[in-house]
């Protein structure tokens, strides 16, 4: 499989994960409670699959520079997501809105960079 095909598959995975992220942010912001754990896990699973595919493409066949930057930013966003899950979600504490928004902004920039590289 060529790099562009893998990047486009990663775009699809991240797009679906982003929909779950928007839903979770809406639940946290407007329902004033944490999203369900299953939704957080599904979001992380899809994003993790996207990061894994992107890393494989970068290491195995090489990718354009924007995709490399996207990978670094997605890893940073994943760290924030893991922190929210382990330090707040599983302890049933309200997710910090600032961290949630920072996680989302980093992921959006990474997604845009990945789209530039893929299309």
Question: Would you say the C-alpha torsion 46, 51, 54, 57 has a positive or negative sign?
Answer: negative
Q: What is the pTM of this model?
A: 0.95
What mean pLDDT is reported for the chain?
97
Structure confidence at residue 115 (pLDDT): 98
- Count CB neighbours of 95 within 10 A: 22
- Listed as ranges, residues in the chain with pLDDT below 70 are none
**Contact 106/77 with Cβ under 8 angstroms?**
yes
Structure confidence at residue 1 (pLDDT): 85
- The string of pLDDT tens digits covering residues 44-63 is 999 999 999 999 999 999 99
Both tokens assigned to 100: 């949630």
Structure confidence at residue 30 (pLDDT): 96
How far is Cα 117 from Cα 119, in angstroms, rounded to an integer?
Answer: 6
């Amino acid at each position: 499989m060529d790099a562009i095909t893998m990047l486009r598959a990663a775009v699809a995975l991240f797009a679906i994960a982003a929909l779950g992220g928007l839903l979770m942010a809406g639940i946290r912001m407007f329902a004033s409670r944490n999203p369900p754990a299953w939704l957080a896990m599904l979001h992380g699973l899809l994003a993790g699959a996207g990061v894994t595919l992107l890393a494989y493409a970068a290491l195995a066949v090489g990718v354009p520079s924007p995709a490399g930057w996207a990978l670094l930013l997605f890893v940073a966003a994943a760290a924030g997501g893991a922190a929210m899950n382990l330090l707040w979600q599983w302890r049933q504490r309200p997710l910090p809105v600032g961290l949630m928004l920072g996680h989302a902004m980093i992921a959006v920039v990474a997604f845009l960079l990945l789209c530039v590289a893929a299309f």
